[in-house]
Amino acid sequence: MKLSPRTAAPILFAAFFTTFSLAGCTPPADSDDRPGDDGSSSEQDPCFVGSWNLDVADYSTQSESYVRGLGLPIEGFAMDGAGTIRFTADGLVATDIDLTTSGTIVAGDTSVPLNSRSGYSATGDWSVGDGASINLANWSNVPDPGIPIDPAAPAIPAIDYTDVPAISALCTENTLVLQGPDAPLSARWTR
């Protein structure tokens, strides 16, 4: 069966975004730095307290490998944009993410360009987990109203930690790696 570009596009987009949304990335956060706050934590605060920037190149590489591993027919995969995450010493976490994924989905003779922007903010509460994890509660996502939604493309679901009580957190002075339970991708953050 040969699909026309008009018929194939929604099917391919739906397959791509359904798969991509399962990646379980950790979103970025609002820096909202106070005057004199360099984003680093004090000696008494956990390592992850402060402001972090998403390593978009690392996340893009993981995403492409994951998508290709699923056998999705995409060429020229690319991801750019920015994200931040901020953990405050008083137990709040806030994220902002604005990423654009592009490439071409190819199925037989049909090529469908992909250029999808995803942006949102999220907030919640955090507490120290078992030493290698962060407990999360009261998670709330808000789509960025400045990013128009393309009615012809399926929505890209925002990351929602409402039902994820704890995430893996590996932290050094300049690197934070977060990963949800059973998530195939991690999010690497730097400061």
Query: What sign for the dihedral angle of Cα 9, 77, 180, 182?
Result: positive
Q: Are 123 and 87 in contact (CB under 8 A)?
A: no
User: Which amino acid is present at 155?
Assistant: A
Tell me how far apart the alpha carbons of residues 178 and 18 are, in angstroms, rounded to a whole number. Answer: 22
Following DSSP, what letter does each residue of 33-81 receive, concatenated?
Answer: PPTT--SPPPTTS-TT-EEEEE-HHHHHHHHHHHHHHTT--EEEEEEEE
pTM: 0.72
Which of 15, 31, 11, 21 is CA-nearest to residue 99? 21
- Going residue by residue through the chain, which has 191 residues, state the pLDDT in tens, using 9 for 90 and above: 444 444 334 433 333 333 333 333 333 333 333 333 444 444 578 899 999 999 999 999 998 888 888 888 889 999 999 999 999 999 999 999 999 989 998 888 898 888 888 888 899 999 998 878 999 998 887 777 777 666 655 444 455 666 788 899 999 999 999 988 878 888 999 99
3-state secondary structure of 6: helix
